Amino acid sequence: MHTVAVIVQDGFAPFEFGVACEAFGLDRSDEGIPNFDFRVVTPEPGVVNSRMGFSLNVDSDLSFAGEADLVVVSPVPSEFWAAPDPRVLDVVRAAVARGAWVLSVCSGSFIIAASGVLDGRKATTHWRYAAKMAAMHPQIDVDPDALYVQDGRIITSAGTAAGLDACLHLLRQELGAELTNKIARRMVVPPQRDGGQAQFINTPIPEVESLSLSRVADWMLNNLRFDLTVDQLAAKAHMSPRTFARRFKADFGATPAAWVARQRIIHAQRLLEQTDLALERIADESGFGSAAVLRQNFARVLGTTPTAYRARFTCMPDAPVSVA
C-alpha cells in the first residue's frame, strides 16, 4: 500500500476525518515507518464545510482516489445517505473492482453501502445507525455491535475511536505488528482492539473494586504460554469467577478467553517479526501449544500462514526477502 485518498464532503465530521489523517498522513520515517502518498480529495475542489462551523480548502478532485491503494470514506450527514454523490459511488466501486482497500469511518459506511459493493457482505456502522443501515440495505449483514468489520478488502467501522481501531487493523496487515505498535505508541492508544469487541460497554469507567484487573491483565500478558482459566484469574483478582468474568468484560470489552486469544495472536506476530524461533517454539511461547494450532488461528484471524507472515514482516537482518 503506497497511496491513500481520504474523501471528504460538506458536513464532514472533523474527528473521524482527523483519525484517517493521523493514521495515514503523518511522516513517521524517523522511526523507520514508510510514508504514504496521502491526499484529501473531494468531488468539487474548493471549500468543504465541516459540521463544526469551520471549513477545509481541498485542492484535489477524485481523480487521485481513482488510482489509490486505499480509499477512506469520511462520515457524511444523514441527508447524503439516501442520495450520495454518484461520483463518490463510482470511486468506491472502481476501488473494489481493482482490489484496492476501502475503509469507512462511522456513517461513511452508508456511502459504501449505497455503492452496492457490500451486498452479500458483512459490515458495521455506529450502533445508533445500525438499524437504519439494515433497513436501507437489507442485502447487507449489518453487525450492530462490532467495532469494525473486514470483509475481503472492505473495512467498515463504528464511530469515533473505533475508526482508529480499524485503521490500526489495516496497518497491521500492511506494515506488520511491530511498526503498527510504534504508530499506536506515538498516538498513545492501545495497539489493537479486536473488531469483535462490543461498541457499547455498560461500564466504560471501571469501578474502584475492579481496578486490580489491570494488574491481572499484566500478569496474563506475561503468562500467555500457560492455560489461563477464569477460576485461576478470578482467584488472582480476589473475586468469584462470575464477578471476575462480568467485570473483565465491562472493563476490557471482551471475555477473558477472547481477550487472551487476541493477545496470543499479537505475541506470535511479534515473535515472528523479531526472532528466528521455530514455529513450534513460537506456538509454545504464545500459548497455542502446537504449530498446527498456531497455523489454524493465523488462518482464521489474519487470513495467512505464520510462515508467510514472517517472510513479509520479518525484522531479522539475514531473513530472505519476500516478493509476494
Q: What is the pLDDT of residues 93-112, one digit of tens each?
A: 999 999 999 999 999 999 99
Instruction: Select the more confidently predicted residue: 279 or 206.
Output: 279
Instruction: Indicate the length of the chain as a whole number.
Output: 324
Whether residue 207 is predicted with pLDDT greater than 50 in this model: the reply is no
d(CA 149, CA 187): 22
Confidence of residue 210 (pLDDT cuts 50, 70, 90): very low
Q: What is the pLDDT of residues 107-140, one digit of tens each?
A: 999 999 999 999 999 999 998 999 999 999 999 9
Q: Which three cell numbers stand for residue 309?
A: 507472515
Q: What is the DSSP string of 51-83?
A: TTS-EEEE-B-TTTTTT-SEEEE----GGGTSS
Confidence of residue 194 (pLDDT cuts 50, 70, 90): low
Average pLDDT, integer, range 75-98: 94
What homologous superfamily is domain 3-187 in, according to CATH? Class I glutamine amidotransferase (GATase) domain (3.40.50.880)
Confidence of residue 191 (pLDDT cuts 50, 70, 90): low
Average pLDDT, integer, range 192-216: 54
Other residues' Cβ atoms within 10 Å of the Cβ of residue 298: 21
Please say whether the beta carbons of 314 and 272 come within 8 A.
Answer: yes
- pLDDT, residue 204, reads 39
Q: Buried (b) or exposed (e) across 221-250, using 16+ Cβ within 10 A?
A: eeebeeebebeebbeebebebeebbebbbb
Query: Domain spanning 258-313 has what CATH number?
Result: 1.10.10.60
pTM of the model: 0.72
Q: What is the DSSP string of 211-266?
A: TTHHHHHHHHHTTTTS---HHHHHHHHTS-HHHHHHHHHHHHSS-HHHHHHHHHHH
Whether residue 45 is predicted with pLDDT greater than 50 in this model: the reply is yes
Average pLDDT, integer, range 275-304: 92
Confidence of residue 203 (pLDDT cuts 50, 70, 90): very low
